[in-house]
Amino acid sequence: MSWERQPPQETLLPQKTRTAQGGQQVDLLFAVGGCHLASDVISGVECYNPLSHEWKLLGSSCKHRCGTGVAPLNGCIYAVGGYDGTTCLSSVERYDPKINEWRYDVAPLAESKRGAGVAELGGFLYCVGGHNGLTCLSSVERYDPEENRWCKVAPLTYRRSGLGVAALDGYLYAIGGSDGHSPLKSVERYDPTEDMWSPCAPLRACRETFGCAVYQGKIYVAGGRDEITELCSTERFDPTSNEWLPMRPMRSKRNKVSLVGANGYLLAIGGFDGVVHLATVEAFDFEVNQWRVFGNMKNRRPGGGVGVLKMTI
């Protein structure tokens, strides 16, 4: 396995804190799990500080997890399910950045799974779809942090693994993925008040194991893989028009990429370009409508997850 040549990087400080010297509220990024190689599953977490423009390996480590769902809830980063190199996982952990420790007090999922989509909506954590090692899943579980309990809610219309999940305007969106036979274009939306899924406008291109993020009232997807190859294409969903629109493609193809919106930018983190595992990060600059090189993580971790917490540093 070869490694990518590191390109020159640009320093893009967060838009709201470009003159900050500390004590400012910023979005911190926490990258969890992933795989160095197909058989080398990563434990641990690294954090990106936008003021210093540095990734830092944190002292504590979590269970080895690839294909884990990662999302913030109540000031912690949750790692849900995944694959440890041998079996699919039902265990759930949460990282508390205030004490720099992983907590193992979260109830496990009802089903072991990897490749599920995870997002917070209405104070609950949702784990959507995934793969149990034998088949793709349509099941959906909801976590109540007050009761420390997962419960089943209405299943997806279609089985989906490697999907994107996004919470926007009181709804939960399940986007693309694979049904076990081919990548999907279809999108469905969950209404928690009705406990029901309904169809939405499909993606412009079928894709699985892509990055998905909500930012400034829109849903973004980037990279992934179609029936043939890894992708660099990106799309944006506008809920007011129920329409997916194309965006500038990323500089690199990125399958198993993480996508987050933070500090005024859309960040595509890591992934696999079809040849090498990537530590590189790209940032979409909305002011100039283009992707820029944005440095490198400490670890190459395709198949990991990234969560964002707003914190004062």
* Geometric angle at alpha carbon 208, from 207 and 211, rounded to 5°: 95
Residue among 216, 253, 254 at smallest CA distance from 236: 216
Residue 93, class by beta-carbon neighbours within 10 Å (0-12 exposed, 13-18 middle, 19+ buried)?
A: buried
- Per-residue pLDDT of the chain (313 residues), as tens digits, is 333 333 434 444 444 444 445 578 899 999 987 776 555 666 678 899 888 889 998 865 567 888 899 999 999 999 999 998 899 999 999 999 888 888 999 999 999 999 999 999 999 999 999 999 999 999 999 999 999 999 999 999 999 999 999 999 999 999 999 999 999 999 999 999 999 999 999 999 999 999 999 999 999 999 999 999 999 999 999 999 999 999 999 999 999 999 999 999 999 999 999 999 999 999 999 999 999 998 898 877 777 889 999 988 7
Question: Mapping DSSP to helix (H, G, I), strand (E, B) and coil, where does residue 24 land?
Answer: coil
Collapsing DSSP states into helix, strand and coil, what is residue 206?
Answer: coil
- DSSP code at position 15: G
Q: What pLDDT is recorded for position 302?
A: 76
pLDDT of residue 40: 64
User: What does the alpha-carbon distance between residue 313 and residue 306 come to, in Å, rounded to a whole number?
Assistant: 19
HSE-up (13 A, CA, CB side) for residue 157: 15
Domains (range + CATH), the chain:
15-312 (2.120.10.80)
